[in-house]
Amino acid sequence: MPAGAAQSGRRCAIRLSQVDVRFSKSDPPALRDVDFSVDAGQFVAVLGPSGCGKSTLLRVVAGLLPAASGEVLVENGGADQSEPVQGGPPKTAFVFQEPRLLPWRTVFDNVGLPLELQGVSRRDRSEAISESLALVGLSPNDAEKFPRMLSGGMKMRVSLARAMVTRPEVLLLDEPFGALDDMLRQQLNDDLLRLWREHRWTTVFVTHNVSEAVFLSDVIYVMKSAPGEMAARIETPFPHPRSADLRTTAAFARQVGLVSRVLHGGKA
């Protein structure tokens, strides 16, 4: 069993059925009749044009937005999949499009924030923070820096480290590398996939980049443009572990082409 799953002690699956989300009664729904399912330990990408409701979907899963109707369940992914998660709500970590670091805190204290808010003492969180920083490739030297001293890519790594410090059961990422250049994005994608392989968090990754979605995920959900309906569910046929070379293969290019066609209104 992978290390992360052993530490967290439980695996969570996400099930949304017939979910509607409305910001106000007069507005059209931001999500309409959405069925969405992520198995425990699965890496799922959500793909769609801007404004289609990808981020809304993620916020519903995180519990930041209520569903107007339908069912949102984060279940125990063990033997009995119908059982709701036991022992409190699932540990969910969210990585936003922007790093959202507190400028008055060092990298170390930014990464430790979730633990601090849970009331973990400074001594006890120190080890978890160092571990988390090492996971994303930041040195102890970087830990004492303030966010303004970091490059965009490093800030994003800090944001990832902050998400991982609580050893989450569900990892939600909202276009985390959207603002970065291609090379950095690929590098962070490779790192993310490696970390996921080691820990097998149940992961939802929102993006509008087709090749990123194909490279990372087991399953891709494609959303239509407004008013936020699900268009298709496409399985990605490549086994793990995947290396960076996968991107250069013909099969990869074919899969990207297929997903792109669906995204632009064709059939899978």
Which residues of this protein are in contact with another protein, per CB under 8 A? 62, 64, 92, 94, 96, 98, 100, 102-104, 113-114, 116-118, 146-149
State which residue, 40 or 101, has the beta carbon closest to another protein: 101
Strand (E) or helix (H) holding 182: helix 182-199
Work out how close the CB of 4 gets to another protein at its nearest, in angstroms, rounded to a whole number: 19
State which residue, 113 or 184, has the beta carbon closest to another protein: 113
Over the range 219-256, which residues count as b (16 or more CB within 10 Å of their CB) and which as e? bbbbbbebebbbbbebebeeeeebeeeebeeeebeebb
State which residue, 63 or 257, has the beta carbon closest to another protein: 63
Work out how close the CB of 172 gets to another protein at its nearest, in angstroms, rounded to a whole number: 9
C-alpha distances (whole Å) from 228 to each of 19, 32, 128, 145, 231 are 11, 6, 38, 41, 9
State which residue, 100 or 224, has the beta carbon closest to another protein: 100
Work out how close the CB of 98 gets to another protein at its nearest, in angstroms, rounded to a whole number: 7
* Pairing verdict, β 170-174 and 92-95: parallel
Cis peptide before 241, with omega less than 30 degrees from 0? yes
Work out how close the CB of 104 gets to another protein at its nearest, in angstroms, rounded to a whole number: 5
